[in-house]
Amino acid sequence: ADLYDEYKTRLMENNVRQFLQFTGKINKGIKDTIESHPWMFLAYNNGIAATADDMDVDANGYIKSISNFQIVNGGQTTASIYHTKKKDKVDISDVYVQVKLSIVKKKDEFVKIVSDISKYANTQNKVNNADFSSNNPILVELEKVSRYVMTPVTPERSIQTYWFFERA
């Protein structure tokens, strides 16, 4: 939030999107987590993918400086945290975010590497709401039963087979 406050959109010049406000369900969800379960933010959020061209660390491994720091994926997360703190006056002291920082040393390939990181970080398989219920205990048990209970013999079918149940 402090970096975004200081650098605003310059922090995300290599990001594919600017802040989409709190109109969509994703950013509303981010804001809701910050407001109601800030201690779970790290567990619920995918974090930030960032690049830089150089980093200096001290003897203990702490970052002293970073050159050309850019958030290439996670701009919605960053801006949501900032706006929730600044505009809604929400305490974010329990909000933690993981950052994957890639130091890109090849200056002549910087633009392509940053573009590829952004592309691949934004290319994920969609998860449908139905997928979240796949571990429901009833469905897990139904799947187990389908593996050992055979179909009945009927006048139309004299051969027993196993049921097919797709849980996940």
- For the entire predicted model, the pTM comes to 0.66
Q: What does the DSSP assignment read for 82-141?
A: HHHHHTT----TT----EEEEE---GGGHHHHHHHHHHHHT------GGGGGTT-HHHHH
SS3 78: helix
Residues with Cβ within 8 Å of residue 19, at least 6 apart in sequence: 75, 76, 79, 80, 83
Mean pLDDT of 128-140: 72
Centre a 10 Å sphere on the Cβ of residue 19 and count the other Cβ atoms it contains. Answer: 18
Q: Give the range among 56-70, 78-92, 119-133 with minimum mean pLDDT.
A: 119-133
Mean pLDDT of 136-158: 85
Residue 92's φ and ψ, nearest 5 degrees, are -110, 15
Q: How far apart are CA 163 and CA 168, in angstroms?
A: 15
